[in-house]
Amino acid sequence: MKRCTNCKAEKSVDSFNIQSLHCKLCVNTKRKIYGRTKKGIVTNIYKGQKSTSIKRGHVPPNYTLKELRPWLLAQPKFHVLHEKWVASNYDIWKKPSLDRLNDDLPYGLDNMTITTWRINFRKQTLRTTKLIKKNAGYKPKEIIQLTMDGCYVAKYPSYVEAIACNKVFQSHLSIACRLGNKNVGGYYWMYA
Ligand SMILES: [Zn+2]
C-alpha cells in the first residue's frame, strides 16, 4: 500500500505510476483539468503533432512549443472555439484542433488552420476509408475493445467501425492497440 500525497488516500501500489507520489486517479484528473485550459490544449496539440509525424515517418513540426503557443493564442478563432467548447461542457467534437492546409506538406505555422475535432475527424475517417479502398486485398485488422478492468466489450471488423462507434482518433487507437494498456475513450484496445 502507498499513500497518495495529493488525495491522502491509501491505495494499492498498482494505483500509482512508477515513482509517482500521486495516484493514477489524481494524475488523470490533473491532466484532464490542464487539458481544458488554453495552455494545456496547445501543449497536447503539439505533443500529438510530434507523435503523429514520428508514427507516419513524416518531417516533425518545424516549430517549437514555445513558438506554437503565441501563434495559436494570437488567433481570434482559437479563442472563439475554446469558448464554444467550454460552453458545450467540453463536448469532444467541439474541441479546438489544428489541421494542415496541405496534407502533403509538413506541419508548419504557415500550413495550419484552426478547426474542431469533428472536422478533423471527418477528414481523417475519409482518408482512412480511401486508403482501405486503395489497398485492394488489404485485410483490415480486427479490433477488440476492453473495459479498463480488462472485460470484453466488443469486436470491430476494422478501425473504421471502431472509430465510428467510439468517437476516437485512428492514430490514438492504433497506439492503444500496440500498447494494450492505453486508455483511449475510456477503454483499452487490442488487435484480435
Ligand atoms: Zn490521489
More confident residue, 14 or 170: 14
What is the pLDDT at residue 147?
87
- Provide the 8-state DSSP code for 101: S
**153 is in which domain, residue-wise?**
143-191
Report how far ligand 1's centroid is from the alpha carbon of 84 (Å).
31
Q: Please give the share of the chain, as a percent, with pLDDT higher than 90.
A: 47
Report how far ligand 1's centroid is from the alpha carbon of 135 (Å).
47
- How far, in Å, CA of 146 to CA of 31, rounded? 22
3-state helix, strand, coil in the chain (%, to 5): 50, 15, 35
pLDDT, tens digit, 9 for 90 and up, residues 67-105: 999 999 999 999 999 999 999 999 988 999 998 888 778
- Residues 85, 130 share a domain: yes
Report how far ligand 1's centroid is from the alpha carbon of 34 (Å).
16
- Residues 42, 17 share a domain: no
- Residues 151, 93 share a domain: no
- Residues 103, 44 share a domain: yes
pTM score: 0.64
Report how far ligand 1's centroid is from the alpha carbon of 168 (Å).
27
Contacts (Cβ under 8 Å, ≥6 apart) of 116: 81, 85, 93, 94, 95, 96, 97
- Residues 125, 66 share a domain: yes
Name the domain count of the chain. 3
- Residues 154, 183 share a domain: yes
Ligand 1 ion: residues within 5 Å (CB): 4, 6-7, 23, 26
- Residues 158, 109 share a domain: no
What is the pLDDT at residue 136?
62
Contacts (Cβ under 8 Å, ≥6 apart) of 67: 109
Query: Confidence class of residue 2 from pLDDT cuts 50, 70 and 90?
Result: very high
- Residues 176, 93 share a domain: no
Report how far ligand 1's centroid is from the alpha carbon of 50 (Å).
30
Backbone angles phi, psi at 72, to 5 degrees: -70, -40
What is the pLDDT at residue 59?
84
Query: Confidence class of residue 191 from pLDDT cuts 50, 70 and 90?
Result: confident
pLDDT, tens digit, 9 for 90 and up, residues 26-63: 999 999 999 999 999 999 999 999 988 888 778 889 99
Segment 164-170 shows an average pLDDT of 84
What is the pLDDT at residue 138?
62
What is the pLDDT at residue 137?
65
Report how far ligand 1's centroid is from the alpha carbon of 31 (Å).
13
What is the pLDDT at residue 101?
87
Segment 156-184 shows an average pLDDT of 84
- Decide if pLDDT at 110 tops 70: yes
Angular region, 167: left φ>0, alpha ψ -120 to 50, beta rest: left
- Residues 95, 56 share a domain: yes
- Residues 153, 127 share a domain: no
Report how far ligand 1's centroid is from the alpha carbon of 53 (Å).
34
Segment 15-29 shows an average pLDDT of 93
* Domain termination residue (choose one: 88, 116, 134): 134
- Residues 49, 104 share a domain: yes
- How many helices (H) and strands (E) in the chain? 7, 7
Report how far ligand 1's centroid is from the alpha carbon of 41 (Å).
23
- Decide if pLDDT at 135 tops 70: no
- Decide if pLDDT at 9 tops 70: yes
Report how far ligand 1's centroid is from the alpha carbon of 20 (Å).
10
- Residues 128, 101 share a domain: yes
